[in-house]
């Protein structure tokens, strides 16, 4: 029963016993569940998922209801139940995602709202609290009216792009019906973001082409570095132009024609940048969208984790239903056919990228953590580069290996004759990931290479 309920829960937390003298320890979890995607607290289960049972279940149930109703404001929707397993009683509190956010813990002059971060409940930062307030009033950032008049700004790039993609000229009525301006001519935040002028300074994209595998390589000069601001439509085109100018294509002769071999799929990159623009958390004024190009990968990062608060898998190969943080901007981009409305964007990024590799492995990673959403797309041509390029290392400075290189080295030490495909299968990663690890070890002068005998064994420099 326990494992069935865990599997059905969007998030969960275990408590060995009900703490009535220090109820904040679990009430903050109630607040965080209600503010995000919901979840279940299991009382009578320890952190190792061992059932220990609750003393006096009826009293505990009464206390749980009393504390929630008295100290969580507004009162969230929750279901209290229990079950007996192994002769011991477990009490469950299933909390549903709330619509009247934010939900606060209130006691002794303390008024705090919580969210989930990983498997912890933390106090909601101000920018997230602002989003919860908007959500509770059925608003989003891009629908809020501003004090800026449309007549004071120009929208030439947006209007020209809209016409080019839809064959329709925008009218003043369209601006109103799309939610970009009100009847009195005042722009919404969505309207501000589409103006030619950079009215909000934080509406920018930083693009950098780095000279190595990190933001601070040993030769730390960036190959190219640009900062763009203004209309979000122009930001999209500027970022795409930057990626195109800073990546290469290879060609090989096919049977009937020359076959193009790009480092990155153009539509996958566009989808990732569109995703960053329409889902970015614009209330965070100290952060911008970044596009970073490294030797082996492209990373696109935007402020704001998944809006729904749901956990996201590192690898995505299916349609993921998403709540749109900025629905007005999302609708405009959909009308211009820069995205679709089916929530298939992340799946499309994965499928189109993996098609370049033709090895049936995954080469895209997604991260939603620490207040940011990041897409990592690996370079389809990188694995064909020489793996023993020299690198200028600082003298007497300890070498820091990536986690990937560490695990590859560990397996090679266990079995010096292991092949690269065997490494990939054993570690459950792609062949290109193994090759990246081997390249890193080679450049660090830790791994010399394989012997030339028939069996072939790796030579590790001690």
- Each residue of 142-154: pLDDT tens digit? 999 999 999 999 9
Q: List pLDDT tens digits, range 237-256.
A: 999 999 999 999 887 776 66
Q: Which residues of 244-279 are buried (b: 16+ CB within 10 A; e: fewer)?
A: eebbeeeeeeeeeeeeeebbbbeebbbbbbbbbbbb
Q: Helices 156-166 and 327-335 meet at what angle, rounded to 10?
A: 50
Q: Element (H or E) spanning 89, and its range? A: strand 88-95
Q: List pLDDT tens digits, range 363-414.
A: 999 998 878 999 999 999 987 444 333 334 444 455 677 878 888 888 888 8
Strand partners, 23: none
Q: List pLDDT tens digits, range 168-204.
A: 999 999 999 999 999 999 999 999 999 999 998 888 9
> What is the mean predicted confidence (pLDDT) over 444-453?
66
* Paired tokens of 205: 């994209």
SS3 per residue for 280-311:
CCCCCCCCCEEEEECCCEEEEEEECCCCCCCC
What pTM, to 2 d.p., does this model score?
A: 0.71
CA dist 36 and 78 (Å) reads 14
- Find the distance separating the first CA and the last CA of the chain, reported in whole Å: 52
CA dist 32 and 248 (Å) reads 46
Question: Contact, 84 vs 51, CB < 8 A?
Answer: no
Complete DSSP assignment for 386-441: -S-----PPTTPPP---HHHHHHHHHHHH-TT--HHHHHHHHTS-HHHHHHHHHHH
Q: Which domains does the chain have, with CATH numbers?
A: 2-125 (3.30.950.30), 205-326+333-383 (3.30.565.60), 391-460 (1.10.10.10)
Output Rg (C-alpha) for the chain, integer angstroms.
26
């Amino acid at each position: 029963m326990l494992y069935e309920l865990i599997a059905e829960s969007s998030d969960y937390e275990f408590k060995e016993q009900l703490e009535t003298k220090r109820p904040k320890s679990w009430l903050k979890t109630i607040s965080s569940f209600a503010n995000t995607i919901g979840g279940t607290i299991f009382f009578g289960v320890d952190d190792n998922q061992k059932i220990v049972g609750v003393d006096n279940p009826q009293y505990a149930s009464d206390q749980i209801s009393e504390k929630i109703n008295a100290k969580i404001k507004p009162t969230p929707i929750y279901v209290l139940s229990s079950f007996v397993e192994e002769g011991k009683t477990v009490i469950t509190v299933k909390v549903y995602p709330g619509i009247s956010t934010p939900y606060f813990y209130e006691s002794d002059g303390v008024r705090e709202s919580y969210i989930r971060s990983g498997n912890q409940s933390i106090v909601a930062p101000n920018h997230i609290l602002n989003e919860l307030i908007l959500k509770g009033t059925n608003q989003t950032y891009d629908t809020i009216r501003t004090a800026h008049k449309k007549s004071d700004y120009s929208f030439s790039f947006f209007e020209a792009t809209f016409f080019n993609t839809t064959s329709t000229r925008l009218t003043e009525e369209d601006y109103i019906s799309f939610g970009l301006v009100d009847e009195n001519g005042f722009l919404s935040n969505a309207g501000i973001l589409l103006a030619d002028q950079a009215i909000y300074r934080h509406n920018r994209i930083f693009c950098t082409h780095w000279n190595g595998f990190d933001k601070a390589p040993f030769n730390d000069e960036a190959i190219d570095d640009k900062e763009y601001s203004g209309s979000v439509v122009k930001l999209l085109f500027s970022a795409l132009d930057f990626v195109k100018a800073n990546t290469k294509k290879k060609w090989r002769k096919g049977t009937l024609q020359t076959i193009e071999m790009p480092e990155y799929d153009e539509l996958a990159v566009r989808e990732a940048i569109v995703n960053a623009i329409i889902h970015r958390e614009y209330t965070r004024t100290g952060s911008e969208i970044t596009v970073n190009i490294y030797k082996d990968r492209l990373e696109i990062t935007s402020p704001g984790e998944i809006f729904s608060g749901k956990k996201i898998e590192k690898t995505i190969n299916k349609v993921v239903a998403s709540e749109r943080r900025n629905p007005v901007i999302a609708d405009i981009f959909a009308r211009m056919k820069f995205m679709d409305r089916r929530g298939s964007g992340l799946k499309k990024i994965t499928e189109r990228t993996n098609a370049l590799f033709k090895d049936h492995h995954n080469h895209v990673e997604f991260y939603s953590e620490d207040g940011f959403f990041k897409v990592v797309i690996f370079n389809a041509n990188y694995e064909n580069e020489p793996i023993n390029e020299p690198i200028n290392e600082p003298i007497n400075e300890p070498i820091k290996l990536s986690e990937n290189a560490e695990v590859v080295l560990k397996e090679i030490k266990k079995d010096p004759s292991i092949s690269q495909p065997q490494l990939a299968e054993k570690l459950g990663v792609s062949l290109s990931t193994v090759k990246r690890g081997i390249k890193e070890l080679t450049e660090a002068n830790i791994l010399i290479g394989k012997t030339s005998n028939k069996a072939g064994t790796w030579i590790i420099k001690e």
